[in-house]
Amino acid sequence: MNVSLYLAAPGSRFWAAASTVSLAEAVARAAGLGYDAVEVMPLDACNPDPEALRATAERHGLSITGLATGYVALEQGLTFTHPDPEIRRQAVRAACRCLDSARRAGAPLISIGVIRGRLQGGASREEAWPHLADCVRECGLYAGELGLTLTIEPGNRYETDFVHTVDEGLDLLDAVNLPSVRLQLDTFHMNIEEASPADAIRRAGPHLAHVHFADSNRRAPGWGHLDFRPIAGALRDAGYAGAIGLEMLLIPDLDAAARQGLRFVRRLFGDV
């Protein structure tokens, strides 16, 4: 099982994967612990420089699983469901620049999370949903041109107003109808939103392109109360052959959390 460590670039507003060390140092530590890859939340499309990030990873024998678009919303305030059409256009352009960066970094995918946005200006979900589908479709078309994948990650209700569950994610995939747009699941969000994470994984089935692991408290797997055994079984049943990304709070520190997460995943899937 390929295992990647999710890292937010220093200075990022994304608190869930914040680290106190430089990105280059974090990549080196991930390699030293035995990770296969890293996944990165940039500060913008050129920070870190995609070619430099690729070179750093390759120097340590790692690949780059993907780039996250969360910075577009967190750092730039741009979302796919903003009531202002110009803001939506800017969000699409920013996501497409992230796709360019992913190609340059050698990453096969970018993820669509909080860039979906929140309801604003009195708009209803029904009014905003077509905007979301249109923006995802436009980015998905560009991803297909580049030979990359755009993943939709269902997120919990406290972080976004759109696509909380696998079923809602499948609805969006149906609306977009592009092979380059697939699902990405996260056990932390699923623990909040899904009645059965394992059943939800089975429903995702062939649409599943990437998976994040974090425990019920968003700490490293094994440091909360989430039972990962049925989740692992469901991934096997679904024929999932992709990576497991550890997107978790790096507490008490990067090394301790990363070591625990990697050890847990290796044992869960019988790789040790």
The pLDDT tens digits of the residues spanning 189-206 come to: 999 999 999 999 999 999
φ, ψ (nearest 5 deg) of residue 86: -70, -40
259 burial level (CB within 10 Å; 0-12, 13-18, 19+): middle
pLDDT computed for residue 242 by the predictor = 95
Report the alpha-carbon distance of residue 147 to residue 99 in Å, rounded: 10
N-terminal to C-terminal alpha carbon distance within the chain: 11
Question: Residue 8: is its pLDDT beyond 70?
Answer: yes
Higher confidence at residue 14 or residue 3? 3
Supply the residues annotated as catalytic: 153, 247
Report the alpha-carbon distance of residue 87 to residue 21 in Å, rounded: 33
- Tens of pLDDT, residues 77-87: 999 999 999 99
Going by C-alpha positions, the residue among 211, 228, 231, 221 that lies closest to residue 257 is 221
Give the pLDDT band of residue 256 (cuts 50, 70, 90). Answer: very high
Going by C-alpha positions, the residue among 154, 163, 162, 160 that lies closest to residue 188 is 154
Identify residue 85 by its one-letter amino acid code. Answer: P
Question: Residue 27: is its pLDDT beyond 70?
Answer: yes
pLDDT computed for residue 271 by the predictor = 67
CATH numbers and ranges of domains, the chain: 3-268 (3.20.20.150)
Question: Residue 272: is its pLDDT beyond 60?
Answer: no
Question: Residue 35: is its pLDDT beyond 60?
Answer: yes
pLDDT computed for residue 78 by the predictor = 97
Q: Strand (E) positions, 69-122? A: 109-112
Higher confidence at residue 18 or residue 266? 266
Mean pLDDT of the residues in the chain = 96
Question: How many Cβ atoms are within 10 Å of 159's Cβ, its own excluded?
Answer: 16
Q: Which of 17-21, 69-73, 161-165, 236-240 has the lowest mean pLDDT?
A: 17-21
Half-sphere exposure of 27 (CA within 13 A, CB side): 25
Question: Residue 91: is its pLDDT beyond 70?
Answer: yes
Question: Residue 237: is its pLDDT beyond 90?
Answer: yes
Q: What mean pLDDT do residues 28-42 have?
A: 98
- Tens of pLDDT, residues 113-160: 999 999 987 778 888 999 999 999 999 999 999 999 999 999 999 999
Question: Residue 2: is its pLDDT beyond 90?
Answer: yes
pLDDT computed for residue 62 by the predictor = 98
Q: Which of 12-26, 99-113, 148-162, 212-226 has the lowest mean pLDDT?
A: 12-26
What is the DSSP secondary-structure string of 129-176?
HHHHHHHHHHHHHHHHHHT-EEEE----TTT-SS--SHHHHHHHHHHH
Q: What mean pLDDT do residues 33-56 have?
A: 97
Give the pLDDT band of residue 223 (cuts 50, 70, 90). Answer: very high
pLDDT computed for residue 83 by the predictor = 94
Identify residue 179 by its one-letter amino acid code. Answer: P
